Amino acid sequence: MTLEAGKWAEVFTAAGAECCWMGGLLDTPQEASRHVPLAFFGHPDILEAQEEIFGRTTRSPGTTARIHELKEKLKAELYAFVAEFGIKLLVPQNILAIPMNIPLGLATTEFIAETGIPTIAHHHDFSWERERFTVSSGADYLMAAFPPSLPNIEHVVINSMAQKELARRYGLSSALIPNVLDFETSPPGINDYNRDFRRDIGAAEDDILVLQPTRVVPRKGIEHAIDLLRQLRDPKAKLILSHPSGDEGNDYMHQVNERIADAGITAIDIADRVGERGGVNREGRKTYTLYDVYPHADLVTYPSYYEGFGNAFLEAVYFGRPVLVNKYAVYARDIDPLGFRTIEMSQIVTRDVVAQARRILEDGDLRAEWAAGNFELGRRHFSYAVLRRKLGARLASLFGE
């Protein structure tokens, strides 16, 4: 399950609902799950179909037939899933927003249209937000299902810019429910399991760990984190890369490694040591969760050019870590006005940005002041209480008070 889907499930479960899952890759309870390999965007049949849709302006009759064949298989799986578990509410997670699996989006849309099942469609990313979906021979599919216009769907977006674009492009109203964290529960700290984290990754207790808690992809702007450490000129400062490159190739990772070498800084790649839970990796080395890593971070860098919202920002706030953030559009519009205290940059690491970072690293009292104020703002605007209230309104709209 995705991070946000898991949070929604926690809130639904706490309210007395039973959550069941259907997907192509699942780490959910087997007794409450239906595994459907075709629902995974990385399934070979899906990848082959997608390649025939994007990057070209026409498609063959064979491609159309194949899309519909896959759609029918997936729709049959949806009927079986709903029947097996007695589903009363469908919550598609990004399936009806970003066209990573066109047959699945079409199948879900047709299933909703045929059954009238109440649906809360949770949209994280849209096709117009990704350059790779600009050229397409499937504009008819995108208009039909990404997202669909059906009377029994409550659309939910995660930022105000998406809300406005959805209305402008599709004439669809939507509710804004931001990403959240459980600010009602104190964050975990250094414990018996993660106490040896620094030593385990080859860092000293007095090293300054600068955490980049994102995938290594171009839109994350990791070159700015490298530049910050270069300008800090502190040999104790170490850049911690917690995630791999993901599904966008390794070209940017190579570029990042070259920049690290040119800058003469120390970076520690722990992507193979961070996972959903602690344990041991293939090499027999101890693994950690990201929540084991945050308590050891002295500074978090989040210099993204674009984000749908900003989970890593919320996590830094939750753990009381000072954060360097590039003023990407959603942050500037939806988060910055709330009053969070951060080290802000606008596309470039200036001397002032470096001075602010140096000051916050040296002044423990100021760090504590920022941490307390930011946590309270997070609790007020991005807690589970906010999610409960906003989801309650969507359920009332679908089912009545």
Across-strand partners of 155?
A: 121
Both 234 and 301 in a single domain? Answer: yes
What confidence category does residue 310 fall into, taking pLDDT thresholds of 50, 70 and 90? Answer: confident
Question: What is the arithmetic mean of pLDDT over 360-387?
Answer: 97
C-alpha R_g of the chain? 22
User: In this predicted structure, what is the pLDDT of residue 245?
Assistant: 84
Q: Is 185 exposed, middle or buried (0-12, 13-18, 19+ CB in 10 A)?
A: exposed
Confidence label for 250 from pLDDT (cuts 50, 70 and 90): confident
High-pLDDT (> 90) share of the chain, % = 92
Q: In CATH, what number is assigned to the domain containing residue 117?
A: 3.40.50
Residue 236 and residue 203 in one domain: yes
* Interval 297-326 mean pLDDT: 96
For 259-290, the pLDDT digits (tens) are 999 999 999 999 999 988 888 888 888 999 99
Considering only CA atoms, which of 96, 81, 248 is closest in space to residue 157? 96
Alpha-carbon distance 246 to 188, whole Å?
A: 27
**The pLDDT of residue 183:** 96
Tell me, yes or no, whether 296 and 394 share the same domain. no
With respect to residue 69, please indicate whether it lies within any of the assigned structural domains: yes
Report the C-alpha gap between 390 and 156 in whole angstroms: 10
- Model confidence at 307: pLDDT above 70: yes
Residue 202 shares a structural domain with residue 170: no
**CA 195 from centre of chain:** 27
Instruction: Name the band, by pLDDT with cuts 50, 70 and 90, for residue 2.
Output: confident
Q: How far apart are CA 21 and CA 23, in angstroms?
A: 7
The pLDDT, as a whole number, for residue 261 is 97
pLDDT at 356 over 70: yes
C-alpha atoms less than 13 angstroms from C-alpha of 134 in its C-beta half-sphere: 4
CATH number at residue 324: 3.40.50.2000
Judge whether residue 1 has pLDDT over 60: no
Q: Calculate the average pLDDT of the chain.
A: 95
- H helix intervals, 181-272: 197-201, 222-232, 251-263
CB 352 within 8 A of CB 253: no
Question: Of the candidates 206, 180, 119, 125, which has an alpha carbon nearest to the alpha carbon of residue 155?
Answer: 119
Residue with token string 């808690």: 213
> Which residues, 6 or more positions from 66, have their beta carbon under 8 angstroms from its beta carbon?
48, 49, 52
Residue 274's nearest CA partner among 210, 225, 201, 218 is: 201
- Report pLDDT for 248: 66
Which residues sit opposite 22 in a β-bridge?
Answer: 34
- Residues 241 and 169 grouped into a single domain: no
What pLDDT score does 349 carry? 97
Decide the pairing of beta strands 286-287 and 279-280.
antiparallel
Please give the residue range of the domain that contains residue 223.
197-380
Task: Kindly report, residue by residue over 4-40, the tens digit of the pLDDT.
Answer: 899 999 999 999 999 999 999 998 999 999 999 999 9
Sequence-distant (≥ 6) Cβ neighbours of residue 167 within 8 angstroms: 173, 174
Where is pLDDT greater, at 344 or 248? 344
- The token pair at 260 is 């690290």
Is residue 201 one of the residues assigned to a domain? yes
Number of compact structural domains in the chain: 2
| pLDDT tens figures, 190-245 | 999 999 999 999 999 999 999 999 999 999 999 999 999 999 999 999 999 999 88
Closest of 167, 160, 130, 210 to residue 336, by C-alpha: 160
- The pLDDT of residue 247 is 62
